[in-house]
Structure formats: C-alpha cells, structure tokens
C-alpha cells in the first residue's frame, strides 16, 4: 500500500490534496459531488441538504434548484441569489437563466425586474427588447432594428419583437430590403426569398434586378442606378452585388465599379465598404492591373489592414521607397508597432539612410516580439524583456488562500469539476484589482496550475509577468526529449506554449490534441515510426508522450529543412508541402521569408514560437537575455529558397 503523503497546508497541495483533508471535509466533498450530480438531473430527493449545509459550494446546488423553478419563482428570489453570489459566476448565470425563462414564458415584468441592461446573447436580447416594447418603445425599436439587420436567420425568440416592430412601422420596407441584401451577401438564399415576399409590388423591378445579377454580376453596369423608393435601397443593393462580384472576378469588378461609381448616390459607408473589398482582393490576389487605382484609393484611407497589406506587397516587390511611404501613411498606433518600425529601418538601410534606420531599429527593439528581437540583433543589443516580478509575504498569501473564490475553485477541483473551477477562477481574476490579480497569479504559480496561470495573465492583462506567462511547465520532459531527439528544448517549449498554452487536455476544433497539438493520425504514424503502441485519441493527451511525439515530428521537419527552425516551425503549423512551395517562391532573406508567408495564422505562429523560445531561454538564465539569440547566424544569413530542402 502506498505511503500516505506528508500533509502540508492545503493550498500548496496537488494530487494529494484530498488525502490531506480532514475526514469530515472529505465526507462533505463526497456529499457535495453527489448533490451536484443529483441537482443536474433534478433528482432533489437524492440530495442530503444537511450533509452539504455550509459547504463552500452549496450555492451550486441552490443554483440548479432555483433554475429548475423558473419561470414560476418571483424575481425577488432571483435578485436575492444574485446579490448573495455577486462574487461568483453563479450570479451572471442565474440572471441569464431568469431572462431566458421569463422571456420564453412571456413574463416580461419579471424579466425587466432581474435584467441589468442589455444581456448577452441574441435570444436573451430579443426577449429583453420584447419586454421593453411597452415600457420603452424607443429603446425597443432601436435594439430590435439592430437585431433585425443580420444576414442570417435569428432565433424564434425574436419573432414577437420583429412582428410588433413591423406592425408599428419601426421596421418597414427599407429595413426588409436591407436585410434581404445582407442575406444575399451572406449566401442565405432561403432567408432572402422569404424577405423578398414581404416587400410590396413597388419593389418588383428591384427584385428582378437582384435575380439578374445573381446570374451575371457583369450586368451591374446595366441595372438602374436608382433602387427602391427615392433611391433609398441603392446603397445596400450595390454593396451586396459588388461584394459577390469582387470575389468572383476582382479585375472585372473594378472595371465595372469605375463605370458606375460616379453615377451612384449611396451612403459613404456603402461606398467605403465596396472600395475596401476592391483594394483588399486586388492586393491579396496580386491583380496588377488594379494597382494604380488601388494606390490612389488607398491614399485617402487609413484602414490598418489595407495599409499593412500594401506594405507587404511593397516588400514582395523590393520597393523600399514604397515601404517607407506606406508605413508613414499608417495610423500612429499601427505605425509605432515594432514590426513596422523594423521594416521602416530595413527600407531606410537599403536606401542608404543608416542614421534614420538606426533610430527606427531602436524604436522596434523596445518591443518583446519577433521583429523587436530581430531589430535588437541588428543593433547588437540584448532583448528588451521588460520583465515584471511580483512577491507577496506569507501573511498576505494566507489571506488570499481564504478568499471565497479561491476556496470555491479548490473545492471544485477536489470534486472533479475543472470547467466550473476555471469559470470561478477567471471570473475572480476579471473583477480583481491589479494587485489582487497578481496575488491570484502568485497562487496559481505556487499551486502548479500551469495552464490556468497562463490564462490568468491573459485575463488580468499581466503582459510583463513573463515567469507566469511562460512557466516552467513539464520542463524535465522537454529537456529529456529535446536531448533524446537532438531538438532545442526551448523550441519545444515555444511550440507547446503557442499550441496549447500548456493545457495538456487541449483539443482543437480540428481534433489536434495535447500540449503540442498532435492530430491522432499523426500520433499514430509517429508511434509506428518509434516502434511503440498507438496511443489512441486519449493516450496522446499524456504530457510526456505528447512531448515525445511532438519533438519527434519537429525533429523530422528540422531534418527536412537542414536544421532551419523558421522553415521547420512553419511546417509544424502549415504542413511541409506548403512550406516546400513557399520556399520555391521565397524572397531569400529570413525576415522577408517570414513576412511573405501567405497564411496569417502561420506567419504569426512562426514569429510567436521563435520569440517564445528566446524568452524561455532568457528566463532559464534568470531573466537575463544577454547572450540569448532568437536565431542562429546561419538562420539569419542562409538563402530561403529550395536549397533549404535536404532532398532537393
């Protein structure tokens, strides 16, 4: 029989926590686990109320009991619960449940009694504004119209609101037309047909125009420029039509737009949306014939996304003066980002203005990112980590351990409710003061809650607490399998941090699993390669095995690209086939290769992983980046082309 673990203060325990609790506390937890399971099934007779009386989680059972009685219960009961549990997510959950149940039952006076302004979620918003139809008709009309203007079907909860607003004339034929255009734009043909049937005969010619363009976008130059009564439907019509045309044939769409634009009387927001699409797709699809018009149109705009695209296009063309000009056109906040200061420095350096280039690099080097570190490398400076450290005395830590939210989190973990525990914890961080949030971060760090610690820094916006944002999670496994596979362990840490934020049970929508986010098929293939058993979809969640398989995969990618971590990291995210193609068309220098990656996700992924690995190495050095290099000299000087392929 295993020896009983030595019992330390409960807040410092990990897997042995339950064994170190007093026997009555263990019994209380078992009773609470059983009571919560029964409450979820509405099996109230199974709940021993005396056994859970006074338990820190008793509110969870009360929540289910009160929710089950909705909408019959009076709002005073709901408000009393909300007030008593104001420091827990239970309060918001109960308020939301009451709004939904009262709304569905048509008990609008009760709904407004418990509501605290516009609720979250379309269904609850529709109930809320339905409740306001008589009490505050103007607010109901404003909120209802906002919900109406959607290109997709809204929940049934909106029917009464929409029907009433239509009967009152707050939603008229113009609003119906505008929504039909949104539905057309979103490809919701069923909704578009339904809305078309709601329009009167005077819209028939306009509906015919829609049918014509759906068959042939090029006919846009031959339809009337005035759509709807007093031409008030023109903007929505041409915005929807051009939305489809630009995506179908960007070059032809611009040619048509230049013909019709001078003759249209439409709102500026519609014109701006059309031209944004034209500029965007012309740049993304590299439609050279549209370049002159696009540059002229873009010169009068300040859209960060379009200007960033234009700079990247100038980089691809090696148009260094264009890089400078377009960076200077960016809004101040965008232009000050280290990425664009770095590229400004590169362009100035290429054109021989060394002094100004050095100032741009110095501005970029203040940032803690891929391009901030790349700028520091060009200046020969250590990386600016801007590391924040926090310390708390034991007396304060004892108080933190007694905070109700902390005790509820611990209790939820003890009864195997990690999802509820996470909700409690992040709600506490979200409402905490900066010092309190850092105290919670300190608590999570001492408890070894690696994934929760990372998310705590995100919720609390503690961007400089690097030792918490990049914790020493599973360090021994990374060092061991890095040594066994010959892979830089800090690279492995950077990949895991980016892939899962150190959540060993993370599962992506695509099915990737674990710390290093391996697809089950990839895990099977790697296991076969290593001569070990197939772990299956759940075995791959084991942290050590996941790290072993992930380190093997990145090793194979490094072998494929002659040890180059930029290319290998890109392949880990996007697949080697794509990276092979990108190298065939690559712009040769490392920074241009990274900036030229066509997938935004992969482009950001590569930058994050390589900058993260530099941070991990710096933290291993006590927070000192002196002597730490994000890239090797070879990675900074090699040609990024097909010569990187080991089997070229």
Instruction: Render pLDDT for 425-444 as a digit per residue (tens, 0 to 9).
Output: 999 999 999 999 999 999 99
Residue pair 624/389 in contact (Cβ under 8 Å)? The answer is no
Q: Rounded to the nearest 5°, which phi and psi values hold at 267?
A: -65, 150
609 closest CA partner among 633, 581, 630:
630
490 closest CA partner among 384, 610, 573, 598:
610
**Mean pLDDT, residues 321-336:** 97
Q: Which residues contact 545 (CB under 8 A, 6 or more apart)?
A: 535, 539
Compute the distance between CA of residue 102 and CA of residue 109 in angstroms, rounded to an integer. Answer: 9
Instruction: Render pLDDT for 181-209 as a digit per residue (tens, 0 to 9).
Output: 999 999 999 999 999 999 988 899 999 99
> What number of other Cβ atoms are within 10 A of residue 490's Cβ?
22
Compute the distance between CA of residue 268 and CA of residue 260 in angstroms, rounded to an integer. Answer: 15
Compute the distance between CA of residue 293 and CA of residue 314 in angstroms, rounded to an integer. Answer: 16
499 is catalytic: yes
C-alpha radius of gyration, the chain, whole number: 30
Compute the distance between CA of residue 540 and CA of residue 221 in angstroms, rounded to an integer. Answer: 58
Structure tokens at 312: 């990247």
pTM of the predicted model as reported, rounded to 2 decimal places: 0.91
242 closest CA partner among 183, 201, 185:
185
Instruction: Render pLDDT for 167-182 as a digit per residue (tens, 0 to 9).
Output: 999 999 999 999 999 9
The overall average pLDDT reported for the chain is: 94
Q: Rounded to the nearest 5°, which phi and psi values hold at 307?
A: -70, -35
DSSP 171: S
Angle, helix 338-350 to helix 320-329, in steps of 10 degrees? 150
Q: Rounded to the nearest 5°, which phi and psi values hold at 339?
A: -60, -50
Q: Which residues contact 518 (CB under 8 A, 6 or more apart)?
A: 512, 526, 540, 546, 549, 550, 553
List C-alpha distances in Å: 429 to 131, 388, 397, 453: 33, 18, 16, 11
Residue pair 266/235 in contact (Cβ under 8 Å)? The answer is yes
Instruction: Render pLDDT for 13-62 as a digit per residue (tens, 0 to 9).
Output: 333 343 344 444 556 999 999 999 999 999 999 999 999 999 999 999 99
What local confidence, expressed as pLDDT, does residue 642 receive? 93
Which is catalytic among the residues 175, 188, 424, 499? Answer: 499
The dihedral region occupied by 556, where left means phi > 0, alpha psi between -120 and 50, and beta the remainder, is: alpha
Instruction: Render pLDDT for 242-262 as a digit per residue (tens, 0 to 9).
Output: 999 999 999 999 999 999 999
Instruction: Render pLDDT for 100-120 as a digit per residue (tens, 0 to 9).
Output: 999 999 999 999 999 999 999
List C-alpha distances in Å: 376 to 383, 593, 611: 6, 19, 12
Q: Rounded to the nearest 5°, which phi and psi values hold at 236?
A: -65, -40
Structure tokens at 191: 């909704």
**Mean pLDDT, residues 123-142:** 98
- Bridge partners (DSSP) of residue 588 are 640
Structure tokens at 284: 């993304």
Domains of the chain: 10-130 (no CATH), 394-463 (1.10.1240.20), 475-644 (1.10.530.10)
What local confidence, expressed as pLDDT, does residue 585 receive? 87
Structure tokens at 93: 């959950």
Q: What is the DSSP string of 455-489?
A: HHHHHTT-TT-HHHHS--TTHHHHHHHHHHHT--H
């Amino acid at each position: 029989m295993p020896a009983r673990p030595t019992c330390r203060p409960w807040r410092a325990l990990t897997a042995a926590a339950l064994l170190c609790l007093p026997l009555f506390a263990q019994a209380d937890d078992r009773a609470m686990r059983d009571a919560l399971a029964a409450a979820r099934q509405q099996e109230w007779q199974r709940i021993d109320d005396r056994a859970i009386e006074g338990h820190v989680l008793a509110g969870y059972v009360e929540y289910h009991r009160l929710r089950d009685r909705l909408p019959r219960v009076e709002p005073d009961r709901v408000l009393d619960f909300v007030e008593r549990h104001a420091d827990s997510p239970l309060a918001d959950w109960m308020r939301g449940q009451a709004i939904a149940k009262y709304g569905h039952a048509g008990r609008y006076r009760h709904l407004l009694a418990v509501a605290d302004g516009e609720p979250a979620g379309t269904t609850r918003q529709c109930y809320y504004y339905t409740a306001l139809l008589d009490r505050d008709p103007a607010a109901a009309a404003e909120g209802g119209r906002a919900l109406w203007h959607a290109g997709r079907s809204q929940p049934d909860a909106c029917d009464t609101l929409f029907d009433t607003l239509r009967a009152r004339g707050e939603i008229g034929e113009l609003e119906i037309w505008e929504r039909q255009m949104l539905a057309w734009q979103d490809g919701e043909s069923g909704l578009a047909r339904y809305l078309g049937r709601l329009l009167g005969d005077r819209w028939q010619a306009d509906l015919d125009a829609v049918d014509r363009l759906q068959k042939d976008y090029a006919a846009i130059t031959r339809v009337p420029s005035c759509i709807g009564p007093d031409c008030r439907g023109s903007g929505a019509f041409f915005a929807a039509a051009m939305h489809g045309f630009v995506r179908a044939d960007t070059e032809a769409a611009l040619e048509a737009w230049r013909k019709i634009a001078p003759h249209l009387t439409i709102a500026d927001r519609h014109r701006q949306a059309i031209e944004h699409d034209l500029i965007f797709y012309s740049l993304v699809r590299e439609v050279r014939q549209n370049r002159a018009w696009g540059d002229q149109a873009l010169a009068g705009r300040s859209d960060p996304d379009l200007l960033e695209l234009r700079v990247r296009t100038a980089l691809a063309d090696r148009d260094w003066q264009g890089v400078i000009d377009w960076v200077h056109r960016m809004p101040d906040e965008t232009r000050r980002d280290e990425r664009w200061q770095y590229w400004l420095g590169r362009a100035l350096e290429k054109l021989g203005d060394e002094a100004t280039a050095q100032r741009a690099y110095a501005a970029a080097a203040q940032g803690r990112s891929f391009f901030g570190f790349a700028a520091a490398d060009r200046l020969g400076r250590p990386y600016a980590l801007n590391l924040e450290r926090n310390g708390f005395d034991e007396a304060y830590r004892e108080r933190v351990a007694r905070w109700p939210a902390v005790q509820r989190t611990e209790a939820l973990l003890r009864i195997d409710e990690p999802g509820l525990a996470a909700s409690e914890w992040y709600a506490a961080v979200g409402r905490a003061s900066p010092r309190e949030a850092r105290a919670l971060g300190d608590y999570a760090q001492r408890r070894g809650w690696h994934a929760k610690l990372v998310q705590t820094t995100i919720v609390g916006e503690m961007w400089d607490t690097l030792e918490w944002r990049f914790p020493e999670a599973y360090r021994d496994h990374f060092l061991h399998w890095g040594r066994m596979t010959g892979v830089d362990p800090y690279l492995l840490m950077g990949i895991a941090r980016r892939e899962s934020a150190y959540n060993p049970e993370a599962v992506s929508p695509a099915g990737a699993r674990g710390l290093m986010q391996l697809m089950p098929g990839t895990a099977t293939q790697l296991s076969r390669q290593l001569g070990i058993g197939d772990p299956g979809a759940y075995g791959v969640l084991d942290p050590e095995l996941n790290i072993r398989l992930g380190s093997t995969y990145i090793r194979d990618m490094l072998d494929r690209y002659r040890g180059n971590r930029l290319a290998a990291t890109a392949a880990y995210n996007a697949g080697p086939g794509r990276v092979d193609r990108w190298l065939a068309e690559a712009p040769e220098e490392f920074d241009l290769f990274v900036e030229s990656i066509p997938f935004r996700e992969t482009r950001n992924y590569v930058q994050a992983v390589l900058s993260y690995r530099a941070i991990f190495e710096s933290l291993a050095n006590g927070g000192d980046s002196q002597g730490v290099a994000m890239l090797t000299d070879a990675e900074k000087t090699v040609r990024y082309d097909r010569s990187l392929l080991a089997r070229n």
